[in-house]
Amino acid sequence: MSHIRQPEPAAPGSVLGSSAVMAAGTTVSRLSGYLRTGLLAAALGNGLHADIFNIANTIPNMLYILLAGGVFNAVLVPQLVRAIKNDADGGTAYTNRVITLAALFLGLVTVLLVVAAPELMHVFAPKYFAGNLEPERIAIIAFARFCLPQVFFYGMFVLVGQVLNARGNFGPMMWAPIANNVISVAVLVLYLVTVGTSAHAYSSGAELLLGLGSTLGIVIQFLVLVPYLKASGFRYRPRFDFRGSGLGQTLRLGIWTVLFVVVNQIAYVVVVRLAAHGTATSSHGTGFTIYSNAFLLVMVPHAIITVSLATAVLPRLSAHAEAGRLLSLASVVNQTMRSTYAFVLPILALTPILAPSLANLVFGWGASRSTYTHFVPPLSLFSLGVLFFTSHYLVLRGFYALEQNRRVFFIQCVISVVNIVAAVALTHHVKPVDTAPRLVIAYAIAYAVGAALSYRQLSVYVGGLGTQSLIRFAIRIGIVVVVAVGVAWLGREALDQVLSGTAKLAALLRFVVISSLGMGTYVVMARLMRIREVDDITRVVAERLGRRGRR
Residue pLDDT, tens place only, 421-476: 999 999 988 898 999 999 999 999 999 999 999 999 999 999 999 999 999 999 99
Say which range, 121-125, 198-202, 264-268, has the weakest mean pLDDT: 198-202
Does 248 or 153 have the greater pLDDT score? 153
Amino acid at 312: A
Say which range, 6-15, 86-95, 173-182, 313-322, has the weakest mean pLDDT: 6-15
Distances (CA, A) of 348 to 35, 303, 418: 21, 13, 23
SS3 label, residue 10: coil
Q: How far is CA 111 from the centre of its chain?
A: 26
2: left (phi over 0), alpha (psi -120 to 50) or beta: beta
SS3 label, residue 91: coil
- Mean model confidence pLDDT for the chain: 84
Q: Give the rounded percent of residues in the chain with a pLDDT score beyond 90.
A: 39
Residues 6 or more apart whose CB falls under 8 angstroms from that of 243 comprise none
Distance, CA of 114 to CA of 112 (rounded, Å): 6
Does the structure show a pLDDT above 50 at 111? yes
Highest mean predicted confidence (pLDDT) among 232-236, 347-351, 360-364 = 347-351
Which residue, among 448, 449, 453, 459, has the nearest Cα to 333 in the 3D structure?
A: 459
* Tens of pLDDT, residues 314-329: 778 888 888 888 998 9
Distances (CA, A) of 316 to 92, 150, 169, 454, 532: 21, 32, 14, 20, 22
Does the structure show a pLDDT above 60 at 156? yes
* Model pLDDT, residue 17: 54
* Tens of pLDDT, residues 19-72: 555 556 666 777 777 788 889 888 998 888 889 999 999 888 888 777 666 566
The residue-averaged pLDDT of 390-398 equals 91
pLDDT confidence tier of residue 2, bands split at 50, 70 and 90: very low
* Tens of pLDDT, residues 517-548: 999 999 999 988 888 877 666 665 555 445 54
User: Which run of H or of E encompasses 89?
Assistant: none
Q: Residue 121: phi, psi to the nearest 5? A: -65, -30
* Model pLDDT, residue 69: 62
* Model pLDDT, residue 444: 97
Sign (positive/negative) of CA torsion 304, 545, 538, 383?
Answer: negative
Does 480 or 5 have the greater pLDDT score? 480
